[in-house]
Amino acid sequence: MFKCLLIKPHKINHLSWNEPDYISTILNFCLEIELENNDFFIDNVLKFLDTEKLNIKNIHLENIIFHEEPEHSYNLIYLDLIAEDNLHLLTQENEIAMLINNDPKQIYSNVILCKEYIPALSNNTTFIDMTKANLELIFEKRKNFKILTWDSVRWSEHIIPIDNLYNFIDSFFDEEKPDKKHIDFFMHNLNILYTSSKYGSIYCCGKLLDDIPVEKCIVYTMLSEEHIGDITLNEFKKITKLSEKIDKYVISDEFLIEDKTNHGRSIKQNKYRILDKMYNKYY
């Protein structure tokens, strides 16, 4: 058995992100339930999604990954009621689910949130407990993100409020305007800001900046044009070491082949899984 979160339709668009109890209010609408990953898993999911109450004949079950971390994915499971003869008219829009999905796509009725453990180099995935604390941490990560800095001596991780990036950059570089390089490194959308000097390090970024002697440096990653993501020192160390082995960062077809879990479900080839596979190939 493992825990999931059941979220019923609620109106929350009138609430403000700036309210100190905003996240706790959202979490109070989430109910912890238990499921078992057996032959009746889908049947039990459908019961919690109120398929009998809605009298659905043709079920359109959707499973969206709304958050990813190294070796973990967070899934939002719901019924596409718009695709089924406008059944959404019989229930309410689930504004909490739409907030969690961070997408304008309309979601109706109940939804279930699950957490899945996906070992880096294995297909033996398993569902593990998804708790309110997990969801709270995901919300916090949307307000704050992790970046890396090189201060001429060592790399460090920093957690920065989402609205404070440019102030942090100005302060870190002492108002000096840094150069910038953007690199698509196997699905890691890297932005590297740096200053150089003859006393700088040519090794701190591997071969990502060729042989430029780097004095100070900031690295962050973008999930999209609008959203900044997290990057860890562990990830970046793998990236810099790989840059010393290869000079083209295009994903080959062998790494895009769909993996299957031990239960026959598809495993998304996300940036963490691709990076681990590439690193395992060369080291």
Domain boundaries, the chain: 2-130, 142-243
* pLDDT number for residue 52: 76
Distance from C-alpha of 221 to C-alpha of 65, rounded to nearest angstrom = 19
DSSP bridge pairs for 127: 116
* pLDDT number for residue 83: 62
Distance from C-alpha of 197 to C-alpha of 176, rounded to nearest angstrom = 13
Burial of 201 (0-12, 13-18, 19+ CB in 10 A): middle
pTM of the model: 0.88
pLDDT (tens, 9 = 90+) of the chain, 283 residues, equals: 999 999 999 999 899 888 889 999 999 999 999 998 877 788 899 899 987 777 777 778 899 999 999 999 999 999 887 766 666 566 788 999 999 997 778 898 899 999 999 998 888 889 999 999 999 999 999 889 999 999 999 999 999 998 899 999 999 999 899 999 999 998 899 999 999 999 999 999 999 999 999 999 999 998 887 788 999 999 999 999 999 999 888 887 777 777 777 667 778 888 999 999 999 999 9
Report whether 35 contacts 113 (CB < 8 A): no
Q: 3-state class of 18 per DSSP?
A: coil
